[in-house]
Amino acid sequence: MKTIIIEDEKPAARLLQRKLEKLNTAVETMLHSVEESVVWFQENEPPDLIFLDIQLSDGLSFEIFEKIDVKSAIIFTTAYDEYALKAFKLNSIDYLLKPIDEDDLETAINKFKSRISIGNKVSLDFEQIKKMLNNPFEKSYKKRFTVKIGQHLKVISTDEIECFYSENKGTYIHTTDNRDYLIESTLELLEQELNPAAFFRISRKYIVPMQAIKEILMYSNSRLKVILPTYKSDEVIVSREKVSDFKAWIDK
């Protein structure tokens, strides 16, 4: 089975590759943009299966298929929430919400193999999916996160989150009860998943929610310092290039 991944977040692509390898599914290549994917399809035979992210660095991944006629089966890997899932379900083998659960991944692979064995192919209606993705009245944002603690799963509501932060190549949630949890995500991905009216990325290291901001102080070099109720591990600083947008966000 010839499989490729189209995903602009390279750490997310590598993580998915490792999970697929555990399921004895080898990945032939990983592509990270619309332009790169179009060139690859022009020079290579189409794969049997594509794991496809929706938003790539240079546009929507659907633009690939406006330029190239691809008959491959597709499993969407997406940060979009329930509002678009009906379109994904009707127009693909399956969809997987990020962060991707290994059991869901195995189920999707088995569904693909089952359809192939009976010769059942899915006709993709990219226009229908694009229409649903671009409808701002139906868009919803991530409301909870699931983290693994030993053999247990804990569900954390966005109302319980004091900040997201990156440290030592990992991404963490800090909660209002002064606890930290490692999650399988990046701050870049979280920016897409979270409601921009409620969360703001103040720097390369932090995303903070409006409801958790206790105090805002002037800081050196025209920056701002955010005081949170329990997070004390480091100073939470609004980077200089973000100050103007942060003030506009606060004033909305």
How far is C-alpha 238 from the chain's CA centre?
A: 23
Cis amide bond preceding 99, omega within 30: yes
Q: Please state the domain extents for the chain.
A: 3-133, 144-251
Q: Is the pLDDT of residue 65 over 70?
A: yes
pLDDT band at 63 (very low <50, low <70, confident <90, very high): confident
- For the 3-133 domain, the top CATH level (class) is alpha beta
- 144-251: CATH topology: OB fold (Dihydrolipoamide Acetyltransferase, E2P) (2.40.50)
Copy the structure tokens of residue 86: 């009906």
Q: Is the pLDDT of residue 161 over 50?
A: yes
Determine the longest span between alpha carbons in the chain, in angstroms: 66
Output the CA angle 233-190-26, nearest 5 degrees: 110
pLDDT band at 17 (very low <50, low <70, confident <90, very high): very high
Q: Is the pLDDT of residue 123 over 70?
A: no
pLDDT at 218: 94
Q: Which of the 8 DSSP states describes residue 87?
A: H
| CA–CA separation, 134 and 239 (whole Å) | 31
Residue 179 vs residues 106, 172, 210, 234: alpha-carbon distances, Å: 31, 10, 19, 14
